[in-house]
Chain A
């Protein structure tokens, strides 16, 4: 039985009053999405802003209802068998939300209580220690920094020992230390058998952690494969250099440009040679030239820029 199953899921948001007056239709945020995540997987859900990742997670968590299709957690439909589905699910929301009336331990005890769990202090203490919150147990939520509040959100999601953990952009805007702590802890839980669904904009994190990845674009799955297969699908190498000059359009349209750093895909030595010739002919002076292996970001950018229809790419 899969840990998570999306079956032909669609979500259309009705048009606002203003849009209705202008005769505009509603927004189709998720469009016929079907895939499954098996028990014990570390699964990445990637896509640009507005691709439908958070909408998909909201439907999984029961915060939003699918317009059509079904979503289940360990075989429990998230609408019909919502109580069982939610017992199996721990969700770390994207927004940095907190209840200002309580301290950290109170918040975790109350959250345990919602799941009908009493006397949960042993596990709460373990969570506090593992997430570096032990010395903040009696601190009011308002007194915590953003990074600390994020840790509490993770602890709240795990307080009932869910078998499926959903992390929606958990490292957005947090420091390196928290990322390390969080990933070590989540990787440990994954090794112990928990299924993890991660959405992130940090593609190096997804590449390092996820064994399988789905990429969403405009509400549709445009790629779904193991991380290694996705990496193989990209140009195998990237030519990287620095320049202060503008590239000719023929090269610029394929390049990833970050300030002075330019990265161009190249499948083999012949393509590298051609690129260098084109640069020389255009009079572009380059420095710090190097080659590197293609990474997930290259795959992501390729797919997002590509004109393939989803069916051609999705497996």
Chain B
């Protein structure tokens, strides 16, 4: 028997989650391996030379940064790749012909990005436990920043997917914006170790606050107050969400 429900967006959320899960080696396994390689190489080289926040070993410091970097990159990859692929292959029409509203599309694409980001982040975290066991000074902040970071990058991926018409335009977005902002946000170092000018520049990067706030959840120490980081990241997410919802509402580059 047919049952009607007003929440068709859940089907899109399910489909988007199933989409990455079906190629889990590529979408979850590979980023976990990459993060572990980073940890092994940088941890091995710098473990005996660098202490962060006075007492934290470099490998332990690196773990939350790598987990967050993996969350951010994979949340972005999920929504952006799904939309650009379905636009180019034409299969986006299956979604566009349905009664799904712009809010439905937003929640489904961002929700599935959040799931993938957190799945990869959890995978990285579990594997890195074999190398270092970080503390859990404020677990709630860990959850809050992991979810905010994934949602933020999932939303940015949605915008990039709508904007890009070709794969190389997407590569520009990914390689010249997302990647530098992630790498220069303090994944591999504390910005306290930078010269004053670069500290100021880092404070203009919203990605810095995601990683710094996330790290606070582990060590109870950070370069910026977690409340300040929360305010900045949450505000930034609201701004990019407003842009993404507007683009979906007007059918930017998806409805003629």
Contacts and interface: CB of A to CB of B under 8 A. Distances in A.
A42 B11 CA distance: 32
A114 B2 CA distance: 13
Contacts of B86: 99
B98 A63 contact: no
A117 B18 contact: no
A91 B19 CA distance: 24
Contact of A117 (B2, B97, B100): B2
Given A64-B256, A97-B90, A115-B8, A123 B2 contact: yes
Interface range, A side:
35 or more
Interface stretch (A81-89, A171-179, A223-231, A250-258): A81-89
A98 interface: yes
A49 interface: no
A84 B99 contact: yes
A115 B96 CA distance: 11
A62 interface: yes
A118 B5 contact: yes
Contacts of A119: 1-3
A54 to B, nearest CB: 11
B41 interface: no
Interface in B151-182: none
Contacts of A13: 256
Contacts of B18: 101-102, 106
A84 B101 CA distance: 11
Contact of A87 (B5, B10, B93, B99): B99
A62 B97 contact: yes
Nearest to A106: B18
Interface string B1-21: 111111110111011001100
Interface string A104-145: 001000111111111110110000000000000000000000
B13 to A, nearest CB: 10
Given A64-B255, A84-B99, A117 B93 contact: no
A110 B89 contact: no
B91 interface: yes
Contacts of B90: 93, 95, 97
A156 interface: yes
Given A62-B97, A63-B255, A101-B18, A114 B91 contact: no
B31 to A, nearest CB: 19
Nearest to A157: B97
A151 interface: no
A102 B12 CA distance: 13
Contacts of B95: 114
A86 B101 CA distance: 11
A11 to B, nearest CB: 8
Contact of B12 (A93, A112, A114): A114
Given A84-B99, A87-B99, A110 B11 contact: yes
Given A63-B255, A93-B93, A113 B8 contact: yes
Contacts of A64: 255-256
A65 B99 contact: no
B22 interface: yes
B39 to A, nearest CB: 31
Contacts, number: 96
A92 B224 CA distance: 55
A175 to B, nearest CB: 22
A114 B5 contact: no
A114 B165 CA distance: 25
B91 A99 contact: yes
A114 B11 contact: yes
A102 B99 CA distance: 21
Nearest to A11: B256
Contacts of A61: 96-97
Contact of A101 (B3, B10, B11, B22): B22
Contacts of B14: 110, 113
Contacts of A218: none
A89 B100 CA distance: 14
A242 to B, nearest CB: 43
B101 A101 contact: no
A86 B22 CA distance: 30
A126 B233 CA distance: 50
A8 interface: no
Contacts of A118: 2-3, 5
A242 B130 CA distance: 84
Interface of A: 13, 58, 61-65, 82-84, 86-87, 89, 91, 93, 95, 97-102, 106, 110-120, 122-123, 156-157, 161
6 contacts: A61-B97, A65-B255, A97-B89, A97-B94, A112-B11, A113-B11
10 closest A-B pairs by beta carbon, nearest first, are A113-B11, A97-B90, A83-B99, A64-B256, A114-B98, A116-B5, A99-B91, A116-B8, A118-B3, A110-B15
